Every structure is written in C-alpha cells, then in structure tokens.
Amino acid sequence: MVLAQQDEVWSMRRLVNLHKMKRPIGKVIVNPDLCKDCRFCIEFCPNNVLEESKDVNIKGYHYPVVRPGKELDCVACRMCEKVCPDFAITIVSEEYTTYDKYYGVSRHAHGG
C-alpha cells in the first residue's frame, strides 16, 4: 500500500518536464579546526546530508562530514552554514543536476 502510493508520487513527478528542471548540488566545505561539534548543522540539514566524523580535530571535537551515498543530496540551501556559530561550515554550489538524473541516481543508490 505504502509502496504503491510512493510509486504514484514518482510517476506524478515524472509527468513534469523533469529532465529540464535543474537544482544546485552543494559541495560541503568544512574547516574542521573551527568546529566545536555542536551538531546544529547535522540536525538542521533538511536533507540529512551530514554526519559526525570518526576523526577528531586538534581540539578533540568531531566535525561534520557528508554521509556516504549522500554526495549529490545537498541542495545548497545553506541552512548548515546559517546555523553554524563557528564559521566552520560553508557550501559552494557551482554544479547543477536535473531531477531525473538525481532521482535515478539516488533510487539506484538506495537499491530502489
């Protein structure tokens, strides 16, 4: 049931001219040594792109890194940058993706 509904959504979305619609892909740039591991960026990212690093910076804090498999999911909304109190994270967005490509890739990545 749930799956069928999801498929309906997919097909509805595909009716739009998806191959022409573009959205930016953000590249996450972190300055690890400024980060204090407050987790604001991780919690407030609407796409759940970030997670804590395994490594620590020179002060012993974990810093945000892109979740494996989420490399194309940053939509460059800059929320992480806005909530960071420490100038530690920023977004560069020079590339774009079309929606059909993005959904293709991300469905593939999730095995769907």
Partner 1 sequence: MSTEAEVTTTGVKVELPKSYEDIKDLIRVDRLPHIWCPGCGLGILLKLLARAIKNSGIPIEKHVIVTGIGCTGRLGGYLKLDAYHVTHGRAIPFAVGLKMANPELEVTVVGGDGDILAIGGNHFIHAARRNDDINVIIVNNFIYGMTGGQYSPTTPKGAKTTTSPYGHYENPFNVPLLAYAAGASYVTRWTVLHQNELYQSLLEMFKVKGFAVVEVLSPCIIYTDRNAMGDAVDLMRVLKERPVIDHRANLADLDIDFSMKKIILGNFVKRERPVSYG
**Interface ranges with partner 1 (CB under 8 A):** 29, 31, 33-34, 36-40, 43-44, 58-59, 61, 78, 81-87, 89-92
CA pair distance 35, 58, nearest whole angstrom: 10
Residue with tokens 């940058």: 81
Q: Which residues would be at the binding site for ligand SF4 (CB under 6 A)? A: 26, 28, 35-41, 45-47, 49-50, 63-64, 74-80, 83-84, 86, 88-89, 91
CA pair distance 17, 8, nearest whole angstrom: 16
Paired tokens of 36: 């204090």
96 DSSP β-pair partners = 24
Smallest gap from residue 95 Cβ to partner 1 (A): 16
Partner from ligand SF4, partner 1, none binding residue 58, C-beta < 5-8 Å depending on class: partner 1
